[in-house]
Amino acid sequence: MAFIRPITKGQPSTKGQLTGWLWLLVCLLFTPWANAHSWPLQLKLNNNGQLHQLQYQPHQNNAELGLYKAQSGIELYLSGDWLVQTSQTVKAAMWQQLGVEHAKLLAQIGEQQIWLVQPVQAELWFNYTLPAEQFPWLLAYQPDFHAKAAKLQGSAMPDAKLASEQQAILTQAYWQALQHQTSGQGAVIALIDDAVNLTAKALAELQVQLYYDVDQKTTQHTKPQTTPQNTQQAGSVTAVSHGDKMAALLFAQPYTENSVTSHSGLAPKATAVILKQSLGWTSDIVLALHLAELAGADVINCSWTLPFLSDLIAQKIDHLTKQPDGIAVVAAAGNHRQDVAESNPLAALPGVISVGLLDSRLQLLSNSGKVDIWVQGPLYLPDGTGISGSSAAAAVVSGVLALKRSLQPDLPITQLTGQLKTELTNRAQ
């Protein structure tokens, strides 16, 4: 269940002030906690202004996880840990009073903080509302969860051609013109995705500021040691994971192999922040977003969908995108050919740049509705392999924003985003 109190907005932090927060990487390297849970048969989850009735589903493969099904059909896994939003830094004695055994700081939203905690008696948190008058610093608390693979809800839209009027359509000619002027120097792109193989030949010159495994809470080596074995294998490494493909679209350097010359990614000279996140826990996504902020990202690429969006993720993104020197958060619209708001509430957020995909004839290949920018395909990886889906389209838009950032470093990214939409809409007329 989630218990939400009115949120008092704190003053936004600047990127300069945020650099001191990088101690968080060290603080999170503790031994993971474990605990047995007694899962209630029914739960009520208040999220995004809606009350969701959840029914417990026994999970045969892992009894430590609670699997719940909502009336909408969405299935949520609960870990037994909780996310707590506070108005101040909480001391050990305050946690003890609240009945918390362990607490890890995940993120900050202005003056507010988000923690991942383990209550001493987690079952009590499912059944009772914590008294607000006793804990005035407590703003909200919600179980940590991730949504099971989304199941189609509603009916898919029929084949349709996009009416180009008042639509921002990004073409290959547009981004190639930008690439003639810059390779993305000075821009910082945070890629939140699954694993990226840094030994791939196309990424040999990639400038990596941070490679952090959010799933395991470990920092990866950004420059692998070169040995004859991995040097020989590097050129033959293919983009097999989703993260590999998005990294290639964004950062690949051109190279020649077996008489075949590859092309570069959108912004090969941009600085990369690689955040490996593949499990989808709310706590992991909040942490990844915060680390991207700490690393000074101009653009955060989210080439994935969320069938159920936590209020806390939405608040963190709202904070990132509304700061004076804010961050562009780019998300894939999704490929279910439904309305974005129906199947991917992440992309439907007002501050998120939602990206859809069109074919060469402007036929819709992705979700529609709240789509801010359409990318016209076909799309290819730098090695010439064809790639489809709004994930690739989102990476293209992230790369284009990095190019514009490189060319106009003094303009806020929000202004560059508005400029891009206006230019693309006018060109589509």
Assign residue 240 the CATH number of its domain. 3.40.50.200
- Residue 154, domain member (yes or no): no
Of 249, 247, 243, the closest CA to residue 264 belongs to 249
Amino acid 7: pLDDT = 32
Please return the burial class of 307, using the count of CB atoms within 10 Å of its CB with bins 0-12, 13-18 and 19+: buried
pLDDT, residue 429, reads: 58
pLDDT at position 272 = 98
Report how far residue 373's alpha carbon sits from residue 428's, in angstroms, rounded to the nearest whole number: 11
> How long, in residues, is the chain?
429
60: tokens are 């045969």
Give dist(CA 361, CA 153) in Å, integer. 28
The count of domains in the chain is: 2
pLDDT confidence of residue 177: 97
**38 and 102 co-located in one domain:** yes
- Model pTM above 0.95: no
Residue 99 covered by a domain: yes
Query: Domain containing 128: what range?
Result: 3-147
Whether 143 and 258 share a structural domain: no
The answer on 248 and 103 residing in a single domain is: no
Tokens of 195: 């694993």
Degrees to nearest 5, angle at CA 159 with 154 and 164: 110
Contact 415, 196 (CB under 8 A): no
323-335 per-position pLDDT tens digit: 888 999 999 999 9
Whether residue 193 sits in one domain with residue 339? yes
CB-based contacts of 321, cutoff 8 Å, min separation 6: 327, 328, 329, 351, 352, 414
What is residue 239's predicted lDDT score, i.e. its pLDDT? 54
For residue 387, the model assigns a pLDDT of 95
pLDDT at 35 (0 to 100): 56
Low-confidence ranges of the chain (pLDDT < 70): 1-37, 59-61, 63, 149-159, 164, 221-239, 258-260, 428-429
